[in-house]
């Protein structure tokens, strides 16, 4: 789990991702760190090396907005990563808490999307509700309960995701974004704790501190029944339920993937795929 110096942990992880060549500095000599040295970050940010060291070590906990902007630029942080830096460096008290249950009205809306896979995920990436098409799409997994657990703990994920590495990296970055929005969330901490113990791959990606909320992307799946499927993914924030997103997949009209969705729909029309939020056997385990 995280230390009590999250800002320092984040800065160390991010500077390890930047090489001197990335920022126009000479790359010669015997370097003992994988990325930039602390004095190099300080130089690029226009602050003293001593000040930057104190910031990483947690001895300076009140950096100015100007300093944080300079460090974000030095570390080449994008909008989401820079936003996380500001949340750590200039925290604002918040009472926001992730919503644990899905409103019946949202379930009805989701179930009404009969031609496309749609499901609701919570802040910890638990699948809180799913329509019949979504369950059919993910049918090959042993459990359809938490997207992170499915990716890192179910061997089927390596077959299902055509680019497993990308899927894993994206999922961890998205969880980091949720953890930043809901610091101390008990469910997120349990998911991180379980995966840190059971999956070295997760542990390595989590240590990178990549913060990248997932809003849309193109996905490439290998479904065991309908073959190759390329779908577009949209995550729609549920404003009435903090932390929840309605995730919807769609295919290019007239494409082979659109035909594949039609094939996926047939079992749902025959009543073979459940449409409830979770089976009773899964419900307690998802929340544990």
Supply 5's token pair: 């110096």
d(CA 14, CA 212): 13
The span from the CA of 85 to the CA of 218, in Å, is 28
Domains and CATH numbers, the chain: 6-89 (1.10.260.40), 104-287 (3.30.450.180)
**Sequence-ordered list of residues with C-beta below 8 angstroms from that of 27, at least 6 positions apart, any chain:** 19, 20, 21
Give yes or no for residue 275 having a pLDDT over 70. Answer: no
Provide the pLDDT for residue 269: 72
pLDDT at site 282 = 39
Residue 79 is predicted with a pLDDT of 86
Around 74, how many Cα atoms within 13 Å sit in the side-chain half-sphere? 26
pLDDT in tens, 49-67: 999 999 999 998 889 989 9
Q: Are the C-beta atoms of 118 and 144 separated by less than 8 Å?
A: no
Are the CB atoms for 41 and 52 separated by under 8 Å? yes
- Give, as one character, the DSSP assignment of residue 161: B
Alpha carbon distances (Å) from 75 to 19, 91, 173, 209, 264: 10, 20, 17, 13, 45
pLDDT band at 104 (very low <50, low <70, confident <90, very high): very high
Kindly state the average pLDDT of the residues 185-198.
96
pLDDT in tens, 135-171: 999 999 999 999 999 999 999 999 999 999 999 999 9
The yes-or-no verdict on residue 2 having pLDDT over 90 is no
> Phi/psi of residue 130, each to 5°?
-155, 145
Residue 120 in contact with residue 147, Cβ under 8 Å?
no
Q: What is the pLDDT of residue 97?
A: 73
Residue 99 pLDDT: 81
pLDDT score, position 33: 73
What is the pLDDT averaged over residues 187-206?
97
Mean pLDDT of 11-40: 85
Is residue 250 a contact partner of residue 116, using CB atoms and an 8 Å limit? Answer: yes
Q: Who contacts 274 (Cβ-Cβ below 8 Å, separation ≥6)?
A: 132, 135
């Amino acid at each position: 789990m995280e230390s009590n110096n999250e800002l320092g942990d984040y800065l160390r992880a991010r500077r390890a991702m930047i090489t001197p060549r990335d920022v126009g500095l000479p790359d010669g000599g015997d370097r003992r760190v994988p990325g930039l040295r602390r004095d190099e970050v300080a130089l690029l940010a226009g602050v003293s090396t001593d000040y930057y060291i104190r910031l990483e070590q947690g001895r300076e906990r009140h950096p100015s907005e100007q300093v944080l902007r300079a460090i974000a630029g030095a570390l080449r942080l994008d909008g989401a990563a820079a936003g996380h830096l500001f949340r750590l460096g200039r925290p604002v008290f918040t009472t926001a808490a992730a919503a644990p249950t899905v409103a019946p009205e949202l379930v009805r809306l989701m179930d009404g999307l009969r031609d496309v896979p749609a499901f609701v995920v919570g802040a910890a990436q638990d699948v809180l509700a799913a329509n019949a098409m979504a369950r059919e799409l993910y049918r090959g997994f042993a459990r359809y309960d938490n997207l992170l657990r499915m990716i890192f703990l179910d061997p089927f994920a390596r077959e299902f995701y055509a680019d497993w590495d990308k899927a894993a990296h994206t999922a961890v970055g998205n969880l980091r974004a949720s953890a930043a929005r809901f610091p101390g969330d008990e469910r997120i901490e349990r998911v991180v704790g379980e995966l840190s113990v059971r999956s070295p791959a997760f542990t390595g990606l989590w240590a990178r501190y990549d913060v990248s909320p997932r809003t849309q992307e193109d996905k490439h799946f290998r479904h065991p029944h309908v073959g190759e499927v390329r779908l577009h993914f949209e995550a729609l924030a549920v404003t009435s339920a903090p932390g929840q997103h309605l995730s919807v997949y769609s295919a290019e009209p007239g494409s082979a993937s659109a035909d594949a969705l039609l094939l996926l729909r047939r079992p749902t029309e025959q009543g073979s795929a459940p449409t409830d939020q979770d089976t009773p056997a899964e419900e307690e385990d998802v929340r544990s």
